[in-house]
Amino acid sequence: MKVLLNPKYTILESFINSIPQIFQDEGKEIYGGRNLIKVFSYNGLEINVKRYAIPNVFNRFIYSFIRKPKGLRAYTYPKTLLDKGFETPEPIAYIENRKAGLIEYSYFISIQSPYKFRFYQFGDANAEEYKDIIVAFAHYTARLHEAGILHKDYSPGNILFDKIDGEYRFSLVDINRMRFGKVDLETGCANFARLWGQIPFFEILASEYAKARNADEAYCRKQIMYYRKRFWKRYAKRHQVGFKLEL
């Protein structure tokens, strides 16, 4: 078993080492699926543990010898965000199990975010009622992109937020798919495609994002709407489902 432990949390070493043995039967499940997420309380800390499923045969080889595993990227990427002043749950540890040299279950352990809300609530919402949040988020995303950070799964479940001392604060999770480097305007506009919301939501978003990046508002609106429409049409076709989004 390979364990990488944040030096700040050496006091948790015995607990971290026990995770593969206790994960199945203990902790509170907060997300069930191929990758399972649980929250554990230990020494007064709320600890988030994400267990990555054993990859298929092809990906087991890829993640064992060619690419960094998802959990390892999730453990190493937060430093870049935190160093640049963007919030993400502080990493505690990474655990990797292998058999015959091939990766099996792996775990990413972090501090559980205290933020109460995710971006799901904007799907059918009246954009004007949430305008202050949308404006704050557009400017936040512009700063993120100007800092050379692109979250490649910028979807509602991966954006946490709350209002603290009158100011909206944002935190990113599930950051194993990131790109660091220059984010041009078109790429930045395309980054909003996975979000939920009706046209007025995206109109406000486009206007404020353009202002924050000193760009043309009409261009940003056109690009955001184009990539939004393309993403959701492909999603519906791939999953053979309908959706309510106004396109």
Residue 223 has pLDDT above 90, yes or no: yes
CB of 213 closer than 8 Å to CB of 142: yes
pLDDT at 237: 80
pLDDT tens-digit map of 80-100: 999 999 999 999 999 999 999
Separation between Cα atoms, residue 205 and residue 139, nearest integer Å: 9
Nearest Cα residue to 50 out of 17, 7, 93: 93
CB of 30 closer than 8 Å to CB of 39: yes
Question: Whole-structure pTM over 0.95, yes or no?
Answer: no
Residue 54 has pLDDT above 70, yes or no: yes
Domains, the chain, ranges and CATH? 2-111 (3.30.200), 117-239 (1.10.510)
